[in-house]
């Protein structure tokens, strides 16, 4: 299913090839400013309040302080994540918008079981806990564009992305797409911003408690520590057309 937007939001006819060529020569701040000038109040920012979340939250909110920050609360987040969320919300005066599934964790497990334990189950789990709440957020907030802190080095699919893409009826903007771990660290240090507290316990990627674990010497990359190694993506940032989905599957995502 593709995201739904409010009918009173005009859809822009953008030359994405030209825009991406232009933005490729500029820094992340310039990309954020371009998006704010282009989409205005149609912009939202999503954050999982993961390990490096402070980068995008700071980068975007200092240019557009009132931007809705959408958080998908599955009901299975770490206590440290909720605490980190409170810390950054207070420090950066974030306009937090929390969306949860229409079914509680207890009811989900009672009626569907532990869906995240199998590859097929994970897909269903993500549709219930992430895709549907995200579509609801897009509709209710009237969003036409979406900032996401994806980086090309994280997964095969993300390596194929451009700074500005279109996913269904919404434009996606990835200001830090070409950033390295060093770039992230330097930004956090320069602005005295914290990592997620679980980084101190060797977590390099944090989502739900049941799908995240610390990295070990046997792991080849940080995404192997998510979803029991069965998936690299939760579904929010995956393609929506058949051709794009075929490409995604060929990348074994």
pLDDT in tens, 48-91: 999 999 999 999 999 999 999 999 999 999 999 999 999 999 99
Q: Considering only the top CATH level, what class is 16-250?
A: alpha beta
pTM of the model: 0.83
Q: Which tops the pLDDT comparison, 105 or 220? A: 105
Task: Say if strands 170-173 and 164-167 run parallel, antiparallel, or are unpaired.
Answer: antiparallel
Structure tokens of 224? 């192997």
Catalytic residue among 44, 56, 234, 253: 234
Closest to 173 (Cα-Cα) out of 18, 60, 53 = 60
Query: How many other C-beta atoms are found inside a 10 Å radius of the C-beta of residue 208?
Result: 21
pLDDT of residue 3: 38
CA distance linking residue 62 with residue 193, whole number of Å: 13
**At residue 231, does pLDDT exceed 60?**
no
Please indicate whether residue 171 is annotated as part of the active site: no
Q: Are 44 and 67 in contact (CB under 8 A)?
A: yes
């Amino acid at each position: 299913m593709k995201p739904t937007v409010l009918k009173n939001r005009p859809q822009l006819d953008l030359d994405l090839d030209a825009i991406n060529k232009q933005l490729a020569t500029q820094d992340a701040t310039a990309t954020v400013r371009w998006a704010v000038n282009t989409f205005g109040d149609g912009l939202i920012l999503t954050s999982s309040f993961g390990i490096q979340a402070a980068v995008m939250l700071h980068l975007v909110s200092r240019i557009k302080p009132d931007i809705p920050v959408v958080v998908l609360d599955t009901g299975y987040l770490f206590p440290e994540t909720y605490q980190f969320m409170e810390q950054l919300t207070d420090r950066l005066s974030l306009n937090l918008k929390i969306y949860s599934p229409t079914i509680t964790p207890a009811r989900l497990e009672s009626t569907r079981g532990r869906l995240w334990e199998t590859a097929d189950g994970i897909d269903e789990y993500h549709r219930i806990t992430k895709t549907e709440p995200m579509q609801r957020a897009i509709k209710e907030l009237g969003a036409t564009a979406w900032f996401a802190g994806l980086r090309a080095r994280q997964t095969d699919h993300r390596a194929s992305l451009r700074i500005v893409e279109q996913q269904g009826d919404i434009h996606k903007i990835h200001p830090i797409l070409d950033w390295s771990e060093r770039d992230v660290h330097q930004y956090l240090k320069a602005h005295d911003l914290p990592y997620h507290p679980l980084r101190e316990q060797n977590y390099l990627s944090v989502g739900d408690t049941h799908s995240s674990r610390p990295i070990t010497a046997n792991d080849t990359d940080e995404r192997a520590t998510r979803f029991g190694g069965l998936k690299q993506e939760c579904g929010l940032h995956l393609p929506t057309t058949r051709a794009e989905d075929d490409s995604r599957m060929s990348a074994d995502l």
